[in-house]
Amino acid sequence: IKKTQLPSLKKNEYYLHSLIGFIIETKKQKLGVVKNISNFGAGELIEIKQTNNKTFFLPLNKQNIIEIDLKNKKIKANPLKGIIPNK
């Protein structure tokens, strides 16, 4: 369907495809940019493209994501230990 056919959203609601291109960061560092969002059966995973062009997945859940700032196109994350790969 066309995006214009999608229902209007309430405050603080979003479509997953609208998060592509958002900057994702922790309190200490920029992790990268949202490249894609996938679901392989156990929940949504954010595919993050790092500055070195490598990607990794971060679960889109309350344990890893603190805030989604739609206005500024940023996602604040607090990834569980071991999720962020070594560069």
| pLDDT above 90 (res 85) | no
Q: How far apart are the first and last CA of the chain?
A: 39
Single out the residue of 58, 60, 65, 30 nearest to residue 43, CA to CA: 60
CB atoms near residue 75 (< 10 Å): 24
Distance CA 60, CA 24 (A): 12
Per-residue confidence (pLDDT) for residue 87, from 0 to 100: 59
7-33 pLDDT, tens per residue?
Answer: 888 887 888 999 999 999 999 999 999
